[in-house]
Amino acid sequence: MLDIAEELHRWAEQGRDFAVATVVAVAGSGPRGPGAALAVDAEGTVIGSVSGGCVEGAVYELCRQALQDGATVLERFGPSSEDAFAAGPTCGGVIDILVTPVRAADPVRPVLVAALAAAAWGEAAAVARVVSGPPGLLGRALTVHPDGTYEGGLGVHADLDRTVAAEAGAYLDAGRTGTLEIGAEGSRCGAPVTVLVESSVPPPRMIVFGAIDFASALTRAGAFLGYRVTVCDARPVFATRARFPDADEIVVDWPHKYLERTAVDARTVLCVLTHDAKFDVPLLRLALRLPVAYVGAMGSRRTHLDRDARLREVGLTDRELARLHSPIGLDLGARTPEETAVSIAAEIVAARRGGTGTPLTGAHTPIHRDREPDHASEPTGRINSMA
């Protein structure tokens, strides 16, 4: 749901009633992971997607029904051998989808709107919703903020709310989306409860070092992939807004000095396009020792070998150097800045998702897979008692 927060928050501010369908779990192959959402308003307007088109028609009708009767439902879509025209994923997987009405009088509305507002404003927040449990609990929700405060509740016991809020806070800290299972004893309601936790965190950073024409194309690709993009170069004549209109930030400074003082995390990607030893060596010496997701450096194979030797001279180990993607990008035969940007972006996605970069034609590897915990398709937590 939070993946379409900006549009949904706009609907909420306009006072629209709507229903939102959210992917809860995926078994086998599926184009969208948990948290992916589709919403329908009272006029029939649709935003978002839950399956890339496989079951959208059926989910649309479920949303329309939820708007009429106010009932929250959990629906499973999978291959049907009995009815060739039944809705189901063409990829052969199974998708569980939670459909929740969000109308003006629905108790869950202010709770969900709080999460939508935070996500739309670029703030961190998590929303936890019951997806299975005793009658009456389906769809109950609470919204958790980074400081541990929360809004709403599951309507069973304050201890359960505190437990779910604490677990959702841990998911939020890690930027995770997935399901949490609470045993019968821990739920305080005599039956197990399963909760979907969706986290929304500020976009990850892409820092591009070197204000060259390739950097301009990569900046556009990074923005397209959802990164907050910074361009850094020590030369003010090149690091200008006119040259990089798509960058979120332009910094004039020596690359290694800027990297020393800026905040990075485990989702940050660093793209070094300077291919000049006086910039590369001090920058990469620092970058390869930081807990970031990706470090890539541009240059020919000869440049790479020279750079590798220089980095060894300043003390980098084999293990540290193994983190470096150099020459940067996948082998696409790219020549233009735009093609090169696609090559680099493809390698970043492959590193993030655990892909091989090989053609899917004739391959026997999974098409949809994810190394990150924020799109887990199986339950990722289990609580059997109140701690």
Ordered DSSP codes for 32-64: S-TT-EEEEETT--EEE-SSTTSSHHHHHHHHH
DSSP state of 106: -
How far apart (Å, rounded) are the C-alpha atoms in residues 360 and 170? 36
DSSP letter (8 states) at residue 152:
E
Pairing state between β 178-182 and 381-383? parallel
pLDDT tens digits for range 368-385: 655 544 333 333 333 333
Distance separating alpha carbons of residues 95 and 31, to the nearest angstrom? 10
Q: Looking at residue 105, what DSSP letter applies? A: T
Produce one character per residue of 27-59: b if its CB has 16 or more CB atoms within 10 Å, e if not. eeebbbbbbbbbbbbeeeeebbbbbeebbbebb
With contact defined as beta carbons under 8 Å apart, do 46 and 38 qualify? Answer: yes
The one-digit pLDDT tens for each residue of the chain (387 residues) are: 999 999 999 999 999 999 999 999 988 766 688 999 999 999 999 999 998 777 899 999 999 999 999 999 999 998 653 433 345 555 557 899 999 999 999 999 999 999 999 999 989 999 999 999 888 899 999 999 999 999 999 988 888 899 999 999 999 988 889 999 988 877 777 788 999 999 998 889 999 999 999 999 999 999 999 999 999 999 999 999 999 999 999 999 999 999 999 999 889 999 999 988 899 999 999 999 999 999 999 999 999 999 999 999 999 999 999 999 999 999 999 999 999 999 999 999 999 988 888 888 877 777 665 554 433 333 333 333 333
Q: What are 290-328's pLDDT values in tens digits?
A: 999 999 999 999 999 999 999 999 999 999 999 999 999
- Residue 163: both structure tokens together: 């437990």
Q: Cα 95 from chain centroid? A: 19
Class of domain 205-353: alpha beta
Domain ranges of the chain: 1-106, 107-201, 205-353
Q: Is 48 left (phi over 0), alpha (psi -120 to 50) or beta?
A: left
The position carrying tokens 């541990």 is: 148
